[in-house]
Amino acid sequence: MAKDTIIKARILKWGNSYGFRIQKADLERLGLRPGEEALVRLEGRSDTVDLSGLPTFKGGMPDDSLRHDELLGEARHKAKKEKK
């Protein structure tokens, strides 16, 4: 049985209460059954996205957008070398 899992769910309203649905496959993977207790950690969504960890490219060529994956791989490789 897995210790924990992450499930993205939409909050639903039922009368005066709120809840979310969990797919049967997720319950089975965790070894849980309807009616059993589970610990749930809710995490709010931020309206901002932190892009500071993404590599930046200086200069640039007209086809850079077509070579995005290649350039990103090169930047990651360079960053790893600099850490050593």
- Name the residue with tokens 């809840």: 19
State pLDDT tens for residues 16-63. Answer: 999 988 888 888 888 888 888 888 888 887 777 777 777 666 677 777
Dist CA 3 CA 15 (whole Å): 32
Question: Can you give the pTM of this predicted structure?
Answer: 0.44
Spatial separation of the C-alpha atoms in residues 45 and 42, rounded to whole Å: 10
Is 26 in contact with 5 (CB distance < 8 Å)?
yes
Classify residue 69 by its DSSP letter.
H
d(CA 41, CA 63): 44
